[in-house]
Chain A
Amino acid sequence: MMKIAVASGKGGTGKTFIATNIFYTLLKNNYRAMLIDCDAEAPNSVAFFVTKLINELEVSQLVPVINPDSCTFCGKCHEYCNYNAIFILPPMKIIKVIEDLCHGCGACSVACKAGAISEKPISLGKVALYSTDRLPILIEARMNIGVMSPIPVIKEAIKQIDNKSDFVILDAPPGTSCPFIQSTIVADYVILVTEPTPFGLSDLKQSVETLKSINKPYGVIINRAGLGNNDVFKYLIKNEIPLLLEIPFNKQIAVLYSDGKLVSESDSFFAKQMLTVVENIMGKYGNSNIKW
């Protein structure tokens, strides 16, 4: 099995565009493939496929429930909470849990010696499993609106990876902070998608530095080539970063994507390019069997 993450520092460079087209092409070529949409704040991959929902997993975390009758207002839970999620006014005998700030670490329960803290689950989002027949092949992480962090939902989605797959494509969220790391750390290889603009280059540099720090092999796809300038190309040459593919700016591609259509469905040349990118990566980095 080979796991490939499709990522970018900058939003809107074409991560979902590449991930969905690679996934489609792999299926068409009879590979056993899975697509995991890790962009839990803004998941969009599912809309490109005709699938049916076969299962939905609720993702929750535990938050403390404080029983004011047994609470001694000692303040220990407040002291143990590193997220400022417990508000306490001992003289007024007021104690409140701010659930939005809680990370569910359980420290307050450990701190409480009065047995006043129990825990209850609260919903953070869903992991949806989609299929074209019986086996789930498309997994979507979807954070609830108003939830602070997408991390727990992303982790649950990644747990659904079927080890019998030939390829797993992970569509990562933008940026280089925690959600990016969680989605790329499990991958054997990372495809960075960028555009040849100053913003694209700046965010690409940041992604490259991040991937170096976690020792991931990576290569770059330049999307919308022809717009902007040549600085991205110069950067890749200077730093000896492999350019996997250059996709010229083409209004037709943009229109197909905007309608939720897959370019590789109608454009066999593009489909071949997608397949070649993945097969080349497989040839070079396959069977590395990374554990995490």
Chain B
Amino acid sequence: MEIAILSGKGGTGKSCISAAFATLNGKVVLADCDVDAANLYLIFNPAHEEEVIYVSGSKAFIDYSLCTNCRLCINYCRFDAISLINDKILISEIACDGCVLCSRICPENAIKMVANSKSRMYSGSFRNGKMVYGRLSPGEENSGKLVNMVRKKARETAKLNAIDTIILDGPPGIGCPVISTLAGVDRVVIVTEPTISGLHDMERLMGIVQKFNLNAFVIINKYDLNISISTRIKTWCKENRITLADELPFDKNMVEAMVQGKSIIEFNPYSEISKKIKIIWNKVTNQKK
């Protein structure tokens, strides 16, 4: 079973909840799909068994010994990445989308494509199973392909080690990496918080979840920070027939656990939050599809 943890808004507690789920009892494969800001390895410090290079497209570079300043490339580029400055054609690495068109049309063959190969995928063991995570090199396009690679590796690892449960800690937002995290999962858990931003971003995320016809479970984290917005979230869930898994109180121990490199379950298994998380997990995993 694959379970994706998402939120829309960042910083609502996705990774802390994922870490808790990953340390409840049975062995799991934990996949950190937030390749733009992977954090779970900080808690679980996995032993790397494999490192794979992820090539995320390419960027165009000019060979000035061949360039005749004909400017054809400038006319063809739709990303405003190419300009003529001081009689020299310049390609902005930041604006270049890697579509290869300039390289194809250059009559002098003066434009070469160079692969972006600084991103990595790591996999290995942690104290309660196996872990897979990606690290996207800064500035690169987060197209979701690295997420797909992480998920493929997670599935293979699960099969190889006879582990049934895959937990996917997702990225914030609603774009491509989120869509890649959601596609084909069995369960979705949405961690939200009682702020107008939390509610608004969750509504946008649900727009994506519903496109995939998935049932979502909502956790209101830090619910006691604003009871009236928590109530609004609950009403919204009811109106949209979305299961409210539970609400968790604000608790400094969540941060303290992280500081000590532990999940809340490992840090304080008998706390109110830990007890609630166990019940949520049972709800999520036992529900018939």
Contacts and interface: CB of A to CB of B under 8 A. Distances in A.
Contacts of A180: 138-139
B114 interface: no
Interface string A57-100: 00000100000000000000000101100000000000000000
Nearest to A147: B175
A214 B94 CA distance: 10
Contacts of B104: 80, 107, 110
Contacts of B105: 110
Nearest to A148: B176
A229 interface: yes
B42 interface: yes
Interface stretch (A237-245, A251-259, A268-276): A251-259
A228 B258 CA distance: 8
A122 B68 CA distance: 36
A44 B144 contact: no
Contact of B99 (A44, A47, A82): A82
B2 interface: no
Interface in B3-37: 8-12, 15, 36-37
A136 interface: no
Contacts, number: 180
Interface residues of A, number: 58
B195 A258 contact: yes
Nearest to B206: A145
A204 to B, nearest CB: 10
Interface in A247-285: 251, 254-255, 257-260
Given A110-B76, A145-B207, A148-B176, A11 B226 contact: no
Interface string B82-114: 000000000000100111110011000000000
Interface string B217-253: 0000000011001000000000000000000001010
A103 B9 CA distance: 26
Contact of A42 (B94, B97, B173, B229): B173
Interface string B184-220: 0000000001111110110010011001000000000
Contacts of A197: 255, 258-259
B51 interface: no
B175 A143 contact: yes
B168 interface: no
B8 A107 contact: no
Contacts of B15: 199
B40 to A, nearest CB: 9
A17 B61 CA distance: 40
Nearest to A182: B94
A44 B175 contact: no
A185 B80 CA distance: 15
Interface string A198-239: 110011001001100110000000000001110000000000
B261 A198 contact: yes
B172 A105 contact: no
A175 B142 CA distance: 10
Interface of A: 9-13, 16, 41-42, 44, 47, 62, 80, 82-83, 103-107, 110, 143, 145-150, 173-182, 185, 197-199, 202-203, 206, 209-210, 213-214, 227-229, 251, 254-255, 257-260
Complex A-B, nearest 7 residue pairs according to Cβ-Cβ distance, in ascending order:
A12-B11, A11-B10, A105-B99, A41-B173, A175-B36, A210-B138, A258-B195
